[in-house]
Amino acid sequence: MSNMNDSMGLRVGYGRVNGQFFTEYEPESETIWGYFQPKGNACFSLGLLKDIRAHDSALAANGGQIDIGGETRKVSHYVLGSKSPAVFNLGGDLALFVLLIKSRDRDALAHYAKLCIDNLYPRIQNFFCPTLTTISLVQGDALGGGLECALSSDFVFAEETAQLGLPEILFNLFPGMGAFSLLARRIGIREAERMILSGRVMSARELHEMGVVDILAPSGEGEAAVADWISSNKRRKNGLQAVMRARELVHPISREELDAITDTWVDAALRLEDRDLRMMSRIVRAQMRRMESGAATDITAEVLDDERQSEAA
């Protein structure tokens, strides 16, 4: 266990130290700060998904409480972010998808999809604790499954320089791990369809204007913005949480709904053709270049340009 002092108060590190997901607890605000720290590409690899699940399943099982050094601590807020420079998460493990689709391994694809929903659904349900508020902190690119993950929280904070989108249609697929359900809850079915079918990567400001992002923060000030919001809403926390529970009653998202959509996604993935898989592989290579350079680039635009040049040649 390690202590850390910063502008947002004392935090206590707990949980797995060497995994791909680490957590800190801020006692004053009863807040968990959870961070992705993936190995290699900043996507939802099986390893990252399992590390998140190991932490979150314990939180859900304990009724929104955690154990630190043998002492039970209440959790009122759970903030989800990333330590990858300028990246929240780039989405599904496309390299794995290509391998499984080529080998026609439906069971393995279905297992991956199920693990995604195993992680996503408890967060949508506030870990089955009505007094726990979930927050996503997007400080960089959130694409595909990365955006789906961000949308699973009650509130989405994004820094102005962040880029978010659902590019799956570029390789003839769709985001099958909750995007349709979560977007429809926020902006309606028709707008959700338009966004998914466009494949566009948009700025955080544009998505804030659409109602996808709740709170826009200046670049580099996302954590401070979340901390300030938690502090300023302390007196009306109960009312905020009740409104979020009411939203879930008005627009419920069931586990059965999510599982059925992932079945559709698996079937659609197995219908992809060689051209689609080549596009998926191009995106993987662009993601790796993005991670190596550390520069904020539009991966979608880069891949489309590569494809046009390839077809011209």
* SS3 per-residue string spanning the chain: CEEEEECCEEEEEECCCCCCEEEEEECCCCEEEEEECCCCCCCECHHHHHHHHHHHHHHHHCCCEEEECCEEEECCEEEEEECCCCEEECCECHHHHHHHHHCCCHHHHHHHHHHHHHHHHHHHCHHHCCCCEEEEEECCEEECHHHHHHHCCCEEEEECCCEEECHHHHHCCCCCCCHHHHHHHHHCHHHHHHHHHHCCEEEHHHHHHHCCCCEEECCCCHHHHHHHHHHHCHHHHHHHHHHHHHHHHHCCCCHHHHHHHHHHHHHHHHCCCHHHHHHHHHHHHHHHHHHHHCCCCCHHHHHHHHHHHHHHC
Higher local confidence (pLDDT), 17 or 166: 166
Higher local confidence (pLDDT), 294 or 77: 77
Confidence category of residue 51, pLDDT binned at 50, 70, 90: very high
- Given a cut of 90, is residue 243 above it in pLDDT? yes
Per-residue confidence (pLDDT) for residue 307, from 0 to 100: 62
Per-residue confidence (pLDDT) for residue 304, from 0 to 100: 62
- Given a cut of 60, is residue 6 above it in pLDDT? no
- Given a cut of 70, is residue 7 above it in pLDDT? no
- Given a cut of 90, is residue 302 above it in pLDDT? no
Per-residue confidence (pLDDT) for residue 286, from 0 to 100: 86
- Given a cut of 50, is residue 4 above it in pLDDT? no
The class (CATH top level) of 2-272 is alpha beta
% of the chain with per-residue pLDDT over 90: 84
Please compute the mean of the pLDDT values over residues 303-308 and round it to a whole number: 63
Per-residue confidence (pLDDT) for residue 273, from 0 to 100: 98
Per-residue confidence (pLDDT) for residue 15, from 0 to 100: 76
Mean model confidence pLDDT for the chain:
92
Confidence category of residue 2, pLDDT binned at 50, 70, 90: very low
Higher local confidence (pLDDT), 143 or 297: 143
Whole-number Å distance between alpha carbons of 286 and 300: 9
Residue-wise pLDDT tens digits, 186-212:
999 999 999 999 999 999 999 999 999
**Extents of the domains making up the chain:** 2-272
Among 48-57, 105-114, 285-294, whose mean pLDDT is lowest? 285-294
Higher local confidence (pLDDT), 75 or 9: 75
Per-residue confidence (pLDDT) for residue 295, from 0 to 100: 62
